[in-house]
Every structure is written in structure tokens, then in C-alpha cells.
């Protein structure tokens, strides 16, 4: 069965203080099913974050919510995805999700964002590290340099298709 | 837009959009339709999602700089249609 070879992964990134008017950050995520991009999000977060890891944690939590929905959809057609990896470029955000302790700088994070932590404990989601220069999803959260932008665009699967002119028939040549 | 110069990226990394930047404001109705169309286009053009979303945030009381940002997107789309 072809479906057995499928792997779902999602990338998540966050732009700290992306919007200067109210100092709120932007979260961006994309979800791949096999090689195909199936959903993508870019969203200004609802609250003002005090650190980049907090932004990452919140973005990962909303990413997790979307993943669980996709997971449920796939379950309906009898596809079990197992543990779905989320790739995040912020190691502290990953550690917040893995470690259930409360620290001075994380205890104010809203309880609904600890939803992620719960799902990691259950083994539905796993948090993994991905270097910033390999994050495809950066295109959704910040303005990139031309090279980076073109690279990300290509990896998302956007290609420029150029149609070559129809070869002229021998009679007209 | 026919004579617009093509560009390769949407926004420069140094762009910082703010509400009041000293540039003149203009009639907001004129660019609302354009932004609306851009939002419609984001359904299959992922690359303009970020900058389109940025323009939307300044739809009320837009300034000249925000209009320029919309024009950049249009120029980009002209290059990579």
C-alpha cells in the first residue's frame, strides 16, 4: 500500500517582534505530507511575547493543533501517522515543550499553550531541532534576502513554469 | 503597471512598516480592492502570504509607503506570474 510510505512533518518558525505597531510576533508554519505541502499558516500572535522561546513555544502549540486535526482526518481513512515531528529552530522552545518544570521566565505562558507539552508527553508530537538556514517556513515570518527567498520558495514547491514557443512547422520555415 | 520594472523579491529585509512615518496619506478606498485581490491570490501563491498580510494590517489610514509596498507585490507578481 502506497500510504505506508507517508510521513507527515511540519516546520514551524516565529518572527520575534515582527510588527512594530503593537510589538506582536508572527508565527508561521507549514505541514508536509510526504513531499507535498498540505497546509500553511502565517499569523500575527494574539499576545506580546517576552522572549523568542516564548514565541516559538506558542507557534509550536498552534502548529500542534493543526497537526492533530490532520492526524484525525487521516485516521478517518485508516492512516495512522504515529508520532509526528515538528521542526523548530529555537532550542529553548523545544526544551520548554519537553521539560514539564516551571521556571521563572516561563511560568506566565498561558495554560492553553501547554497543550503542546501535553501532546509531546502523550507521544503524538515530537519536537525536533532544525537549523535556521534550513527552515523553509521562514518565508512566512520575515523578509528574507533574495537567495534565501528563492531557495525557500523552491522548497515549498513553487516553480516558475515557462512555456516554450511551439516549434514552427516545416512548411512555414 | 504595464511599464513597471520587474523585481525578484517582495519586501526588503530592512523594511519596517509603521502607522505614522511622515509620508502623505491618501484615499484608502483606492488600494482596498487591490489588497482584497492579493488576499484572494494567496490561496495558491504562498510566496506573497507574508507581505500581503502586512499590507492588510495598514488598510485603514494607509500612507504612501504602504501603497509602495502593494506596488512592490504587483511588480513581483508581474515578474513571477
pTM for the whole structure = 0.79
Query: How many domains, in total, are found in chain B?
Result: 1
Three-state DSSP class for B58? Answer: coil
Reported ipTM: 0.81
Question: Among partner residues B12, B46, B49, which is closest to A143 by beta-carbon distance?
Answer: B12
**Are B1 and B49 contacting, i.e. CB atoms less than 8 angstroms apart?**
no
**Are A158 and B46 contacting, i.e. CB atoms less than 8 angstroms apart?**
yes
Confidence grade of residue A42 (pLDDT, cut at 50, 70, 90):
confident
Residue B68 located in a structural domain: yes
Q: Which domain holds residue A27?
A: 8-156
CA-wise closest residue to A142 among A15, A12, A11, A10 = A15
Residues 52-81 of B with CB under 8 A from A: 53, 57, 80
pLDDT in tens, B13-35: 777 777 777 777 777 777 888 88
pLDDT in tens, A6-15: 556 667 666 6
Residue B45 located in a structural domain: yes
Query: How many domains, in total, are found in chain A?
Result: 1
CB contact under 8 A, B18 and A20: yes
Residue B60 located in a structural domain: yes
**Are A84 and A128 contacting, i.e. CB atoms less than 8 angstroms apart?**
no
B9 touches chain A (CB under 8 A): yes
Three-state DSSP class for B35? Answer: helix
CB contact under 8 A, A144 and B9: yes
pLDDT in tens, A96-154: 888 777 677 777 777 777 888 888 888 888 888 888 888 888 888 888 888 888 888 88
Domain harbouring A23, CATH code: 3.30.420.10
Three-state DSSP class for B24? Answer: coil
Residue B72 located in a structural domain: yes
CB contact under 8 A, A143 and B10: yes
> Which pLDDT does position A15 carry in this prediction?
64
Residue B24 located in a structural domain: no
Alpha helices, DSSP H, located in A17-171 = 52-76, 91-98, 115-122, 146-156
> Which pLDDT does position A3 carry in this prediction?
46
A28 touches chain B (CB under 8 A): yes
Q: Which domain holds residue B45?
A: 29-79
Residue B7 located in a structural domain: no
Residue A170 located in a structural domain: no
- Name the grid cell of A23: 510589538
A140 touches chain B (CB under 8 A): yes
Q: How many Cβ atoms sit within 10 Å of the Cβ of residue A81?
A: 16
User: What is residue A128's DSSP assignment?
Assistant: E
CB pairs under 8 A between A and B: 55
Does residue A34 come out as left (phi exceeding 0), alpha (psi in the -120 to 50 range) or beta?
left
Sign of CA dihedral A129, A10, A25, B23: positive
**Are A57 and A96 contacting, i.e. CB atoms less than 8 angstroms apart?**
yes
Dihedrals φ, ψ of B49, to 5°? -60, -50
> Which pLDDT does position A127 carry in this prediction?
86
Min distance A16 CA to chain B CA atoms (Å)? 13
Min distance B30 CA to chain A CA atoms (Å)? 23
Amino acid at each position: 500500500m502506497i500510504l505506508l510510505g507517508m510521513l507527515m512533518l511540519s516546520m514551524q518558525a516565529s518572527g520575534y517582534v515582527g510588527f512594530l505597531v503593537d510589538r506582536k510576533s508572527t508565527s508561521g508554519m507549514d505541514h508536509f505530507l510526504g513531499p507535498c505541502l498540505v497546509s500553511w499558516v502565517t499569523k500575527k500572535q494574539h499576545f506580546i511575547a517576552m522572549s523568542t522561546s516564548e514565541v516559538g513555544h506558542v507557534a509550536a502549540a498552534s502548529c500542534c493543533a493543526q497537526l492533530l486535526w490532520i492526524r484525525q482526518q487521516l485516521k478517518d481513512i485508516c492512516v495512522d501517522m504515529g508520532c509526528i515531528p515538528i521542526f523548530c529552530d529555537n532550542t529553548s522552545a523545544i526544551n520548554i515543550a519537553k521539560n514539564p518544570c516551571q521556571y521563572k521566565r516561563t511560568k506566565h505562558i498561558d495554560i492553553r499553550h501547554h497543550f503542546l507539552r501535553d501532546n509531546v508527553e502523550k507521544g503524538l508530537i515530537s519536537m525536533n531541532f532544525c537549523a535556521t538556514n534550513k527552515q523553509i517556513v521562514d518565508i512566512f515570518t520575515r523578509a528574507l534576502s533574495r537567495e534565501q527567498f528563492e531557495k525557500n520558495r523552491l522548497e515549498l514547491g513553487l516553480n516558475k513554469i515557462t512555456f516554450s514557443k511551439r516549434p514552427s512547422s516545416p512548411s512555414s520555415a | 503597471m504595464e511599464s513597471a520594472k520587474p523585481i525578484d523579491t517582495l519586501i526588503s529585509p530592512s523594511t519596517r512598516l509603521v502607522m505614522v512615518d511622515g509620508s502623505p496619506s491618501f484615499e484608502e478606498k483606492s488600494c482596498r480592492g487591490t489588497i482584497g485581490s492579493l488576499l484572494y491570490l494567496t490561496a495558491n501563491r504562498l510566496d506573497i502570504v507574508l507581505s500581503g498580510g502586512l499590507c492588510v494590517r495598514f488598510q485603514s489610514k494607509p500612507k504612501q509607503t504602504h501603497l509602495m509596498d502593494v506596488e512592490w507585490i504587483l511588480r513581483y507578481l508581474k515578474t513571477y506570474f
